[in-house]
Structure 1
């Protein structure tokens, strides 16, 4: 096999690898777009706009912290410490 044939075969091999990578990337992109649409649909069903998502997350964090605080205060610590 001549040097040119080796180089041409290497180029073909690299082109095949690049083609496979492109196909996998396109499939991944389609999957990510599908997931994005599902998430947007779920947000819509919850009545949350994507641009308000960060605000909604902070609101939920505050509610969780408040509920944890209330739950902790319902536990009689003096009884627990004595036992």
Structure 2
């Protein structure tokens, strides 16, 4: 009988832990959904649609690289080594 009671106690403890984990996961999901909404809002404010983010990142990286090369070209050749 004692073994049965111990098993029931363990099952209850596992159930309580699962409930606690579920509450934490739901809270985390809500937080992530709010963050996603904020990011999407910010990208739209910047004039970029979410499905174009990768393209915009690549465009900006290319622009930065070109500007850096241009800046280096203005320096005396002795400094470019």
Scaled to the shorter chain, the TM-score interval is over 0.9
Matched with 1:14 is 14
- List per-residue Cα deviations over 1:54-77 (Å, max 9, x = no partner): 111110010000011011111102
Matched with 1:63 is 63
Matched with 1:25 is 25
TM-score (norm 2): 0.92
* Runs of 4+ that moved beyond 4 A: none
User: What is the aligned-residue RMSD (CA, Å)?
Assistant: 1.4
The answer for unaligned runs of 5 or more in structure 1 is none
TM-score (norm 1): 0.90
What is the aligned length? 80
